[in-house]
């Protein structure tokens, strides 16, 4: 990962390094290609030079052989007059472009020569040490490259034996060919040409420093032969400073050359053509430079594209950032507004709650004052009457006391209802069997039922119906419902109230049904709200159902009213069954 990050941040450096590496590789490829091309050219040139050389030598190779047939030469070799022969040979040398044509007698003394009148004439010179002489004397054709013993000029010497009439060798006819003009046709601008004899000695080249130097070490035998024949006029044949790198690549005097070596088909002579390797390097360098320029163009285009891309990416990111910060500011404002609205709402709610509490308290106080005021003033009247009457009439006192007793009952009934508010939450919750709750409520209501001649018909399951709750509070719910049913059946002779408990789908369902006047339609919507009542003042405060609903809700249940088809009213309480109450189902 670190490496990737580093490469990414230094991409320019990486690109430059890659370019340099690939340029170096390209250079080497181009150089190999240029070398191949140069070698092909060199091969073609070498072939031409070799052919020209061979033609030059072949042209005069048979000259001495042809001339030697002439009897005049034999005569001259044997001591005859050579004056006419000299002139004849001079003319012949001019037409054949030979450097010299001359005749040696059997001892190697020059008896006639084309250069008879030149200051360095061969006439009178002895050449018995030359190999070409020895070969001719032995009846063979002699061919030798050598530096002229008289002139000091190098040349190729071709000799042929001169026979007398008996066929005996009496002398040698020699043609000296100057190769120097040949080298003038060589294109020295482009390459160096070396002509090597069979000993590997450079006999012809455009570079004077390389002339008469060897390409390989000469054996003592070779050296002895060369010395004896004075072939190189006693020159020290030192080795060239030559190093073979590859078959076709050498260094000569520290300069690299591509080398083409060809046999000349003349003796064992060879022609070397050396093309400077720096030409290949220069060509490769030029091609590499072109490639570098192309790469630079591409890289510049890439860098430009990249910077453009960065610029546009930067623009996009800046735009996104400003949009984001705008969005953030909007969001912050919205949050602030919401917080403000929430706190206002909370304040309004708490104000509402306070107002509602105050209203409820006011209503309660008014109801209680009103409800208590009537029985209390009645009690006061009765007490005063009783005080007056007590001495006179005991029966009246008895009646007054009974009235007082009923008024006290009414006051305690009102107090009973208000007690719920004082006791709220006081009772612990636990498993409660609804059948026991029904029994408790029945017991409480028994006197009232009896008084009205009413009957409470209970329909309970055999098994416990257990809910989690407070027994006394649940009893209060049932007491309220039974009392309401009783009140609604006020006008009936012998009213019947039905109470059923069933367990259904994880719930306990308690139903209280009566056959009374039914729920007034005006009240249906606000039945379970406090102070909703149709009762006359002094008979009810409209708190019973509100309290009952509150208790049922506390137990996680619900209460609703229904109107049975055949009249009366039904109140249904649904409570969730406790875990252990499961068996009560069905
Ligand atoms: P209260 O009994 O003090 O009026 P409740 O909250 O117990 O207060 O009842 C509210 C009203 O609901 C009653 O005034 C009555 O009109 C109506 N109500 C309650 N139970 C019955 C019932 N079983 N049949 C007809 N009306 C009923």
Q: How many residues does the chain have?
A: 586
Least confident window among 21-35, 216-230, 331-345, 374-388? 374-388
Q: What is the arithmetic mean of pLDDT over 6-15? A: 74
pLDDT for residue 586: 35
Quick check: 107 pLDDT over 70?
A: yes
Q: What are phi and psi of 564, to 5 degrees?
A: -65, 150
Quick check: 540 pLDDT over 90?
A: no
The H-assigned helical ranges of 229-276 are none
Q: What angle do CA 225, 228, 229 make, to 5 degrees?
A: 85
Please state, for a pLDDT cut of 90, what percent of the chain lies above it: 51
pLDDT for residue 477: 93
Q: What is the arithmetic mean of pLDDT over 215-230? A: 90
What is the band of 356 on the pLDDT scale with cuts at 50, 70, 90? confident
455 CA distance to ligand 1 middle (Å): 19
The H-assigned helical ranges of 102-235 are 131-137, 180-183, 220-228
pLDDT digits (tens, 9 = 90+) for 302-353: 889 988 999 999 999 999 999 999 999 999 999 999 999 999 999 998 888 7
Of 370, 484, 566, the residue with max ligand 1 atoms within 8 A of its CB, to mutate for a pocket test, comes to 484
530 CA distance to ligand 1 middle (Å): 11
Nearest ligand 1 atom to alpha carbon 534? 14
Q: What is the arithmetic mean of pLDDT over 93-121? A: 93
Closest-CA residue to 432 (of 484, 510, 498): 510
Closest-CA residue to 203 (of 224, 226, 219): 226
Q: What are phi and psi of 236, to 5 degrees?
A: -80, 110
Q: What is the arithmetic mean of pLDDT over 538-542? A: 75
Nearest ligand 1 atom to alpha carbon 485? 23
pLDDT digits (tens, 9 = 90+) for 148-184: 888 888 899 999 999 988 889 999 999 999 888 887 7
**Cβ–ligand 1 contact at 380 (below 6 Å):** no
**Cβ–ligand 1 contact at 523 (below 6 Å):** yes
What is the band of 583 on the pLDDT scale with cuts at 50, 70, 90? very low
What is the band of 93 on the pLDDT scale with cuts at 50, 70, 90? very high
Least confident window among 341-350, 398-407, 473-482, 577-586? 577-586
**Cβ–ligand 1 contact at 532 (below 6 Å):** yes
pLDDT digits (tens, 9 = 90+) for 403-461: 888 888 878 877 776 766 655 556 788 999 999 999 999 998 898 899 899 999 999 99
CB 571 within 8 A of CB 559: yes
Mean pLDDT of the chain: 87
31 CA distance to ligand 1 middle (Å): 116
The protein residue with its alpha carbon nearest to ligand 1, atom 26, reads 519
Unique residue bearing structure tokens 């649904």: 574
Q: How does DSSP assign 513-529, residue by residue?
A: EE-SS---TTTGGGTTS
CB 136 within 8 A of CB 161: yes
Unique residue bearing structure tokens 């091969």: 43
434 CA distance to ligand 1 middle (Å): 23
- Structure tokens given for 205: 């080249």
Of 410, 533, 550, the residue with max ligand 1 atoms within 8 A of its CB, to mutate for a pocket test, comes to 533
Which one is predicted more confidently, 12 or 238? 238
Give the number of other CB atoms < 10 A from CB of residue 186. 20
Q: Is 13 exposed, middle or buried (0-12, 13-18, 19+ CB in 10 A)?
A: exposed
Query: Which DSSP symbol is given to 218?
Result: P
Nearest ligand 1 atom to alpha carbon 532? 10
Closest-CA residue to 400 (of 387, 391, 413): 387
**C-alpha pair distances (Å), 130 with each of 34, 126, 195, 534:** 46, 9, 21, 167
**Cβ–ligand 1 contact at 540 (below 6 Å):** yes
Quick check: 525 pLDDT over 70?
A: yes
Torsion angle, alpha carbons of 524, 506, 514, 457, to 10: -170
Residue 15 C-alpha from the chain's centroid: 18
d(CA 360, CA 404) in angstroms, rounded, equals 30
Nearest ligand 1 atom to alpha carbon 528? 6
Torsion angle, alpha carbons of 355, 358, 359, 365, to 10: 180
Least confident window among 14-18, 127-131, 143-147? 14-18
pLDDT for residue 501: 97
pLDDT digits (tens, 9 = 90+) for 109-125: 999 999 999 998 999 99
Q: How does DSSP assign 344-373, residue by residue?
A: HHHHHHHHHHHHHHHHHHHHHHHHHHHHHH
**Cβ–ligand 1 contact at 476 (below 6 Å):** no
Which one is predicted more confidently, 336 or 366? 336
The H-assigned helical ranges of 390-511 are 394-423, 434-452, 471-488
Which one is predicted more confidently, 303 or 43? 43
pLDDT for residue 424: 55
Q: Is 496 exposed, middle or buried (0-12, 13-18, 19+ CB in 10 A)?
A: middle
Quick check: 26 pLDDT over 50?
A: yes
Query: 3-state secondary structure string, 535-549?
Result: CCCCCCCCCHHHHHH
Of 487, 496, 536, the residue with max ligand 1 atoms within 8 A of its CB, to mutate for a pocket test, comes to 487
Question: Longest C-alpha distance within the chain, in Å?
Answer: 223
**C-alpha pair distances (Å), 574 with each of 225, 352, 504, 571:** 142, 31, 10, 10
Which one is predicted more confidently, 510 or 531? 510
Q: What is the arithmetic mean of pLDDT over 486-506? A: 93
Q: What is the arithmetic mean of pLDDT over 49-71? A: 86
Q: How does DSSP assign 539-584, residue by residue?
A: T--S-HHHHHHHHHHHTT-EEEEE--TTSSEEEEEEEEBPGGGGGG
Interhelix angle for 277-389 vs 11-61, to 10°? 160
546 CA distance to ligand 1 middle (Å): 10
Unique residue bearing structure tokens 């949009």: 323
- Structure tokens given for 83: 């004056």
Q: How does DSSP assign 159-191, residue by residue?
A: EEEEE-TTS-EEEEEEEEE--HHHHTTS-TTT-
């Amino acid at each position: 990962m670190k490496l990737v990050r580093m490469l990414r941040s230094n991409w320019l450096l990486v690109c430059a390094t890659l370019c340099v590496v690939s340029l170096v590789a390209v250079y080497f490829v181009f150089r190999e290609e240029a070398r191949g091309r140069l070698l092909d050219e060199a091969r073609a040139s070498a072939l031409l030079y070799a052919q020209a050389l061979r033609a030059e030598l072949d042209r005069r190779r048979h000259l001495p052989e042809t001339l030697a047939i002439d009897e005049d030469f034999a005569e001259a070799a044997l001591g005859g007059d050579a004056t006419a022969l000299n002139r004849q040979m001079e003319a012949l040398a001019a037409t054949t472009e030979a450097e010299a044509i001359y005749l040696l007698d059997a001892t190697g003394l020059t008896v006639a020569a084309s250069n008879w009148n030149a200051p360095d004439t061969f006439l009178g010179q002895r050449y018995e040490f030359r190999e070409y002489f020895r070969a001719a004397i032995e009846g063979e054709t002699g061919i030798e490259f050598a530096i002229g013993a008289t002139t000091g000029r190098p040349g190729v010497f071709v000799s042929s034996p001169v026979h007398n009439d008996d066929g005996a060798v009496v002398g040698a006819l020699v043609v000296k060919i100057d190769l120097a003009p040949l080298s003038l046709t060589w294109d020295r601008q482009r390459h160096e040409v070396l002509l090597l004899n069979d000993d590997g000695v450079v006999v012809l080249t455009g570079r004077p420093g390389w002339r008469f130097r060897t390409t390989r070490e000469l054996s003592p035998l070779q050296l002895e032969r060369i010395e004896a024949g004075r072939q190189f006029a006693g020159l020290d044949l030192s080795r060239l400073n030559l190093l073979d790198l590859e078959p076709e690549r050498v260094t000569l005097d520290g300069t690299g050359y591509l080398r083409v070596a060809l046999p000349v088909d003349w003796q064992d002579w060879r022609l070397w053509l050396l093309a400077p390797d720096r030409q290949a390097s220069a060509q490769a360098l030029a091609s590499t430079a072109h490639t570098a320029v192309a790469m630079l163009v591409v890289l510049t285009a890439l860098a430009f594209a990249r910077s453009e891309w960065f610029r546009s990416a930067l623009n996009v990111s800046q735009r996104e950032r400003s949009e984001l910060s705008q969005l953030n500011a909007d969001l912050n404002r919205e949050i602030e507004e919401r917080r403000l609205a929430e706190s206002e709402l909370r304040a309004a709610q708490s104000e509402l709650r306070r107002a509602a509490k105050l209203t409820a308290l006011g209503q309660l106080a008014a109801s209680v004052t009103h409800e208590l005021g009537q029985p209390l003033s009645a009690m006061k009247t009765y007490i005063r009457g009783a005080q007056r009457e007590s001495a006179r009439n005991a029966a009246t006192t008895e009646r007054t006391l009974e009235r007082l007793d009923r008024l006290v009952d009414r006051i305690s009934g009102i107090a009973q209802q208000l007690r719920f508010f004082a006791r709220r939450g006081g009772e612990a919750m636990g498993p409660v069997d609804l059948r026991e709750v029904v029994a408790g409520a029945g017991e409480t209501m028994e006197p009232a039922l009896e008084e009205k001649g009413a009957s409470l018909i209970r329909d309970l399951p055999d098994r416990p119906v257990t809910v989690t709750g407070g027994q006394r509070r649940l009893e209060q719910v049932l007491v309220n419902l039974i009392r309401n049913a009783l009140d609604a059946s006020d006008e009936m002779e012998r009213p019947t109230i039905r109470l059923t408990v069933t367990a259904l789908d994880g719930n306990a369902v308690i139903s209280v049904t009566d056959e009374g006047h039914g729920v007034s339609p005006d009240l249906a919507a606000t039945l379970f709200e406090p102070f909703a009542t149709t009762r006359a003042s002094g008979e009810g405060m409209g708190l019973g159902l509100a309290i009952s609903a509150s208790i049922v809700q506390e137990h996680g249940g619900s209460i609703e009213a229904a109107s049975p088809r055949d009249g009366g009213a039904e109140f249904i309480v649904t409570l969730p069954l406790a875990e252990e109450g499961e068996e009560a189902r069905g």
